[in-house]
Amino acid sequence: MTRQLLTGNAAAAWAARLARVDYVPAFPITPQTEIIETLGRWIDAGELAARLVTLESEHSMVTAAGAAAATGVRVFSATSSQGLLYAMEMLYAVAGWRAPFVLVNVSRGIAAPITLEPDHDDVLAARDSGFLQIHCSTCQEILDSILLAHRLAEDSRVRLPVIVNFDGFTLSFTREPVEIPDGDAVDRFLGPYDPENVRFLASKPISQAVAVMGGGPYSYFRYQMHLAAEAALGVYDEVAAGFAAAFGRRWEAVETWHCDDAEIVFVMIGSFATKARDAVERLRAVGERVGLVRPRLLRPLPVAALRAAVAGKRGVAVIDQNLSLGRGGVLHAELASALYGQPDAPPVLASFVGGLGGRDIGLEEFRRMAAETRAAADAGRAPPPRLLYTSGELRELRKLQGIAHAERAELRRAAPASSDPEAS
Amino acid sequence: MYRIRLHGRGGQGIKTASRILGSAFFSEGFEVQDAPRYGAERRGAPIFATVRAAREPIHERGVIARPDLVLVGDATLVPVAAAGVLLGMAEHSVLLVASDDPPEVWKQRLRLAGPVRTLPASDAERGGLATVGTACAAAAARLVGVIRRGSLESAVRAELADLEPVVVERNLERALDVFERFAALEGSVREGPEPQILALPDPEWIDLPHEPARTSAPDIFGGLTSVEVRTGLWRTLRPVVDREHCHRCHWVCTTFCPDGAIRAAPDGTPEIDYDHCKGCLVCVAVCPAHAIRAVPEQEAERGAGEGAG
Amino acid sequence: MSETHYRRMQDLPSTHLLGSGTAMCAGCGGLQAIQVIYDVLGPKTVFVNAAGCMTLLSVYPFTPFQGSWLYTSMASAPAGAQGVRDALDLLVAKGRIPPEEDLDVVVLTGDGAACGMGLASTSGAIDRGLDFLYVCYDNEGYANTGQQTSPATPHAARTATDALAGGFAGEKKDLFSIWAANRPVYVATAVGAEPVDLARKIEKARGLSGPRLVIVLAPCPTGWGFDPAESIEIGRLAVATGVFPLKEWEAGRVVHTKVRRPRLPVERYLERQARFRHLFEPVRDEAALAAIQARVDAYWESVE
């Protein structure tokens, strides 16, 4: 075992290498391109016995990934944002093929407007597709989660593809210390790919992914995918226990920090959750009883573990780095539906939306979110949802709007000293 | 509420028939809901349509579980389980079949409690003109007794407006003729009893057990299961080989049959798989010796054994 | 002509591999061609399908194939073929399956997928030198959804979306030339009504490696408006009038495999189909008919 500084992308590539993936259909997109470039170099150097093929779009890439898995090989691929959405039709399709593989999504905000920086709108758009989802907050976690994901996907009780998500820039291009597991130990943990009976062989004709007419039969196939996804919760715990035994790192479906005696907890996923953990520790140091709940699995949603983590708390602040336009934060709504009517459910569930397009969330914002949630708990009433944004940010934006000749009455009324071109 | 189902094959005008009936009810002041149900676009495949008509706005939807009237434009569908022609027939339900066989024969054949009516083919229909859909709609209009002749006429004209005038006139002629023929049965179809929600049996809900993908993947583990689908039931005309005139040419008909339903016996005689032959009659058209002829299916059934493949 | 098993109709098998009982329309020209094609290719194949009429060849739990089948999506069948082909190659190379378990990969799509949204994935597959056969059954419209105009719809054809007046005002897309411009290994056109020509082309394609693409005209009784019994005759007339040239492309050279001299007037083909009836009734549209004839004449003048 060796501990090295690796970017998130490099950690992902290492995991695919250790998993001895056979096939890597690829298409470049910021911020994941390094993953496939790294794998390509290793393949060319003979260090990885796989085939990497560049398709002409992500829709085709995911088709090829599913088709190769449905033929009988271990498949790994990666995409992001616009690419994930371009493939969206095929995410649903290949999940229904029950041919497992691992797709890394390096999360990035979605157009429009187009950006390169991270948030979770892209990966959450796939939450209904049948792909399982694991969310990482460190580079170590990325490597480990991809290995876990292959095991999970390939389990007979599951046989669904898995998305492993990590944030662009904050993880993809950021180096952190990563323990690279021993190859033999990974071989023992993962084993070879077993296609079971979903494969193509001349001696065993099979018609795959055929049309199904009739609500009864169609419902059966869709319900079975759902039941498999739910069964994946139990399978995940087994797999994670096996991983911990082999490699000494325990990755729970839901991680908690300082929740036991917390009155107010944050709920957050992804790389910014470490910022929440940092804030929790600093707030604790000044006497605040706060904690952090960090779900790693979002599909299936670990409902029981989430309920247990927040049971009896006075207030919960869900911090969504995503925004369902017209509704609000996705995790907030999911948690609310999981908690409704449950005994010991916290009486106040506050929604905060921030971090879109990589917008930073400062320590002072965590402090204030905790404070507002506590005040709401005291008042016995959930606060209205808050979109995190400061007056300073708005001032800066006005300057940009001025340059862009945006039509705003406020700009025209601005004092001449602001050198606002609209003020003349 | 009147709950009416129409059954036929793609291409027979069953959807149009449902709209003629729906429009006729509508012009009589009823609230109406009419809808066709089919799989993909397939001429010859079974389809059905539903018509609901009531004095109040209609909220129920979908398949009609207990029809007051079932109209069957193609009698060959009756034995086809998947066509569901007899689904939900209750004591009060009336069945009307487009058939030259008399009603007593049908009633006995199907052992139905309720009345059976038949609609013999017109000479024009026997000659190939497709007005059976319109005829069914007209019969239904008279049987329910709340649709006047004028409403039927305007409905036919409205629904067939895109067709050539001579086709419209032929359909109208047929419709009005049928409307007159069923005068004695006017009003014999009544609005059936409303479903008694408390009396309905309990839905037998289960917790669907999780089955691993090796069982529950949408795959067919093997080949050639399609032969279990008897597409021979699509047929209204059957090709029959005249062995005396067949030249055993090796083998035009076997090559050109789109469904691969003709094979050559060792001596070169073509054998037609009547379980699957759809009656497209390509073989009749391509046979260089003109040794294959088309026989109406019902006639062929009566003369069983003739030219059997 | 190199070795071929198919010189005469008698060389075609009289029993067919493809199972009956499928839901294609009675008289389907596409299905008839696939009978010939499947007999030549055999069951050591996996057909990778894009959305279209033939998707309904297999509806759970029924399949007519003695080999294998994978439905993908409308736009990405060639990408599905890529995944299957690469995976089979990997399995054989790594000794995880014996070579006799290998399969030939065949893409089967209609003209809608081939000429429109499938062009990108086809282009990509050719760029990558994918070893596959692409069979496009061309019924000149989005037939499965009711015969709406597709890029392969011919000039003046009436369709569900060009239902009035002069029918479709555009021209049929030249898929053959588009594919050939991508420089694959083999491109051909064929029709089930000329089964020996079709069988030879499929046999030839089968013996080559790399991207091989065949367009098969599929006369469609439901969409084109003719009696199902005339399905073969319509196919023959398409060739005899010169409307549908039978040809092959290899290494930059185009060879016509069946040339009828003299050609029948295009009217003989058009007048049999309801989609062109407006050219004849209520009055003959001489200008439109002459334009269609001129276009066909110009094509043949350019190649002869």
Q: Which of A141-155, B188-202, B225-239 reaches the highest mean pLDDT?
A: A141-155
Give the mean pLDDT of A221-247. Answer: 98
Which of C10, C227, C232 lies at the smallest CB-CB distance from B286?
A: C232
Mean pLDDT of B126-141: 85
Given the DSSP bridges, would you call strands A254-257 and A264-267 parallel, antiparallel or unpaired?
Answer: unpaired
DSSP one-letter string for C141-189: SBTTTT-B--TTPPTT---SSS-STT---S----HHHHHHHT--SEEEE
Residue A216, CB-side half-sphere exposure with 13 Å CA sphere: 1
Enumerate the residues of chain B whose CB falls inside 8 A of the CB of residue C9.
250-252, 255
One domain, residues A115 and A161: yes
Q: What ipTM goes with this model? A: 0.95
Q: What is the predicted pLDDT for the residue at A408?
A: 74
What secondary structure letter does DSSP report for C33? H
Percentage of residues in chain B with pLDDT exceeding 70? 93
Alpha helices by DSSP H, A354-407: 363-379, 391-403
Nearest CA in chain C to B249: C10
Please report, to the nearest 10 degrees, the dihedral formed by the alpha carbons of residues B10, B16, B19, B25 taken in order.
-120
Test mutation, C22, C86, C122, chain A, max A CBs within 10 A? C86
What is the per-residue pLDDT across A174-207, written as a single tens digit (0 to 9) for each?
999 999 999 999 999 999 999 999 999 999 999 9
A43 in B contact zone (CB under 8 Å):
no
Q: Are residue A213 and residue A319 in the same domain, yes or no?
A: no
Closest CA to B216 of A160, A301, A2: A160
Distances (CA, A) of C74 to C194, C237, C245: 28, 30, 27
Confidence of residue B45 (pLDDT cuts 50, 70, 90): confident
Which pLDDT band, with edges at 50, 70 and 90, does B47 fall under? confident
What is the span of the domain harbouring residue A335? 254-387
The CATH code of the domain that includes A343 is 3.40.50.920
Beta strands of A192-279 (E only): which ranges?
207-208, 254-257, 264-267
- Residues C62, B228: C-beta atoms closer than 8 Å: yes
pLDDT at residue number A411: 62
Closest partner residue to C72 (CB to CB) among A63, A68, A201 is A63
Please report the pLDDT score of residue B302 as a whole number: 67
For residue A175, what are the β-bridge partners? A7
Mean pLDDT of A309-330: 98
* B218 vs C contacts (CB less than 8 Å): 60
- Beta-strand runs (E) in A300-398: 315-320, 348-353, 386-387
Q: Give me B181's structure tokens.
A: 């023929």
How many other CB atoms are found less than 10 A from the CB of residue B104? Answer: 10
Confidence at A423, pLDDT banded by 50, 70, 90: very low
B284 contacts chain C (CB < 8 A): yes
Lowest mean pLDDT among A357-361, B294-298, C9-13, C47-51: B294-298
Q: Residues A366, A286: contact at Cβ < 8 Å?
A: no
Quick one: pLDDT band at residue B309, thresholds 50, 70, 90? Answer: very low
The Cβ of residue B58 has, within 10 Å, a number of other Cβ atoms equal to 15
B148: pLDDT strictly greater than 70: yes
Q: Which residues of A touch C69 (CB under 8 A)?
A: 206-208, 210
Q: Which of C28, C34, C24 is nearest to C220 (CA)?
A: C28
Which residue in chain A has the smallest CA separation from B221?
Answer: A206
The string of pLDDT tens digits covering residues A243-293 is 999 999 999 999 999 999 999 999 999 999 999 999 999 999 999 999 999
Crossing angle (nearest 10°) for helices A183-190 and A139-154: 30
Q: Residue B210 and residue A224: Cβ atoms within 8 Å? A: yes
Q: Is C8 in CB contact (< 8 Å) with chain A?
A: no
- The answer to whether A261 and A158 are in contact (CB under 8 A) is no
Q: Classify domain B2-185 by CATH number.
A: 3.40.920.10
- The amino acid present at A222, given as its one-letter code, is R
| Contact at CB, A97 and B214, closer than 8 angstroms | no
Angle at C31 between CA C54 and CA C183, to 5 degrees: 75
Q: What residues 109-128 of chain C have any CB closer than 8 A to a CB of chain A?
A: 120-121, 123-124, 127-128
Smallest Cβ–Cβ distance between B216 and the set A204, A205, A221 belongs to: A221
Interchain proximity B213–A220, CB inside 8 Å: no
The verdict on A193 and A235 lying in the same domain is yes
Radius of gyration of chain B (CA): 22
Tokens linked to A173: 């291009």
Q: Does B256 touch chain C (CB under 8 A)?
A: yes
**A94: contact with C, CB 8 A cutoff:** no
Give the mean model confidence (pLDDT) for residues A356-361: 96
For B231-304, CATH number? Answer: 3.30.70.20
pLDDT-based confidence at residue B253 (cuts at 50, 70, 90): very high
Same domain? For A132 and A36 the reply is yes
C73 and chain A in contact, CB less than 8 A: yes
Using the Cβ of A233 and the Cβ atoms of chain B, whether some distance falls under 8 Å is answered with: no
Q: Do A203 and C101 touch (CB under 8 A)?
A: yes
Residues A121 and A232 in one domain: yes
Asked whether residue B308 carries a pLDDT value surpassing 60, the answer given is no
CA–CA separation, A160 vs A70, rounded Å?
Answer: 11
Interface touch C80/A67, C-beta < 8 Å: yes
CA of B307 to nearest chain C CA: how many angstroms apart? Answer: 19
CB of C232 within 8 Å of a chain A CB? The answer is no
Q: What does the pLDDT read at residue B305?
A: 45
- pTM to 2 decimal places: 0.93
Name the band, by pLDDT with cuts 50, 70 and 90, for residue B38: confident
CB pair distance less than 8 Å for A224 and B216: yes
pLDDT at A424: 41
- Interface size between A and C, measured as CB pairs under 8 A: 151
Spatial distance between the Cα atoms of B48 and A28, rounded to a whole number of angstroms: 50
Is residue A1 over pLDDT 70? no
In chain B, residues with a C-beta closer than 8 Å to the C-beta of A230 are 210
Averaged pLDDT for residues B149-162:
96
Residues in a beta bridge with A289: none
Asked whether residue A406 is assigned to any structural domain, the reply reads: no
Q: Are residues A28 and A9 in the same domain?
A: yes
* Contacts of A245 by beta carbon, 8 Å cutoff, 6+ apart: none
The verdict on a CB contact (< 8 Å) between A200 and C68 is yes
CB of C42 within 8 Å of a chain A CB? The answer is: no
Q: Kindly give the pairing relationship between strand C132-138 and strand C104-110.
A: parallel
Phi, psi torsion values for A197, nearest 5 degrees: -100, 5
- Is the model's pLDDT at A167 over the cut of 70? yes
- The domains found in chain C, sorted by start residue, are 9-303 (3.40.50.970)
Is A157 within 8 Å of B214 when comparing Cβ atoms?
no
Torsion from C-alpha of C161, C165, C170, C176, nearest 10 degrees: 70
Asked if residue A125 is part of any domain, the answer here is: yes
Q: Which of A48, A56, A196, A199 would you mutate first to test chain C, the one with the most C CBs within 10 A? A: A56
Residue C24 near chain A (CB below 8 Å): no
C10, C15, C16, C20: which to substitute to probe chain B, counting the most B Cβ within 10 Å? C20
- The yes-or-no verdict on residue B41 having pLDDT over 90 is no
Q: Is B70 helix (H, G, I), strand (E, B) or coil?
A: strand
Q: Is C253 on the interface with A (CB under 8 A)?
A: no
Local structure of B157: helix, strand or coil: helix
Q: Is A350 within the bounds of a domain?
A: yes
Tally A–B CB contacts below 8 A: 69
CA distance A51 to A55: 12
Query: How far A309 CA lies from chain C's nearest CA (Å)?
Result: 42
Tell me which chain C residue has its CA closest to the CA of residue B293: C229
- Same domain flag for A220 and A158: yes
Beta bridge pairs of residue B8: B47
**Any C CB within 8 A of A206 CB:** yes
Domain boundary among A221, A247, A273: A247
- Residue A215's φ and ψ, nearest 5 degrees, are -65, -30
Shared domain for A212 and A300, answered yes or no, is: no
φ and ψ of C111, to 5 deg: -70, -30
Q: Which of B208, B218, B222 sits opposite A209 (nearest CB)?
A: B218
Kindly state whether residues A185 and A58 are assigned to the same domain: yes
Give the strands of the sheet with A254-257, arranged side by side.
Answer: A254-257, A290-295, A264-267, A315-320, A348-353, A386-387
**Residue C21 is nearest to which of B41, B45, B229, comparing CB atoms?**
B229
Tell me whether residue A196 is in a domain.
yes
Point out which residues pair with A104 in neighbouring strands: A78, A164
| Interchain contact A230–B (C-beta under 8 A) | yes
Q: Where are the domains of chain B?
A: 2-185, 231-304
User: Do the chains contact at A207 and B219, CB–CB below 8 Å?
Assistant: yes
Contacts of B254 in chain C (CB under 8 A): 14-16
The answer to whether residues C86 and A53 touch, using CB atoms and an 8 Å cutoff, is: yes
Chains linked to C by 3 or more Cβ pairs within 8 Å: A, B
pLDDT higher than threshold 90 for residue B10? no
Cβ–Cβ below 8 Å for A72 and C96: yes
Asked if the Cβ–Cβ distance from B258 to C64 is below 8 Å, we say no
Domain match, A233 and A357 both: no
**Is A6 found in the same domain as A149?**
yes
Confidence category of residue B82, pLDDT binned at 50, 70, 90? confident
**Beta-strand pair A207-208/C68-71:** parallel
Q: Which of A25, A73, A207 is closest, CB to CB, to C58? A: A207
Check whether residue A116 and residue A260 sit in a common domain.
no
In this predicted structure, the answer to whether residue A158 has a pLDDT above a threshold of 50 is yes
Q: Which residues pair with B262 in a beta bridge?
A: B272
Determine the pLDDT at residue C138. Answer: 98
In angstroms, the CA C224 to CA C200 distance is: 27
Q: Which residues of A touch C100 (CB under 8 A)?
A: 202-203
- Please check whether residue A195 lies inside any domain of the structure: yes
Nearest by CB to C20, from B220, B276, B280: name it.
B276
Q: Please check whether residue C205 is in contact with residue C188, taking contact to mean a CB–CB distance below 8 angstroms.
A: yes
Percent of chain B residues past pLDDT 90, beyond the cut:
71
**Shortest CA gap B297–chain C (Å):** 15
- Predicted confidence pLDDT, tens digits, chain C (304 residues): 468 999 999 899 989 999 999 999 999 999 999 999 999 999 999 999 999 999 999 999 999 999 999 999 999 999 999 999 999 999 999 999 999 999 999 999 999 999 999 999 999 999 999 999 999 999 999 999 999 999 999 999 999 999 988 999 999 999 999 999 999 999 999 999 999 999 999 999 999 999 999 999 999 999 999 999 999 999 999 999 999 999 999 999 999 999 989 999 999 999 999 999 999 999 999 999 999 999 999 999 999 7
Counting the structural domains of chain A, the total is: 2
R_g over Cα of chain C: 19
A246 part of contact set with chain C, CB < 8 Å? no
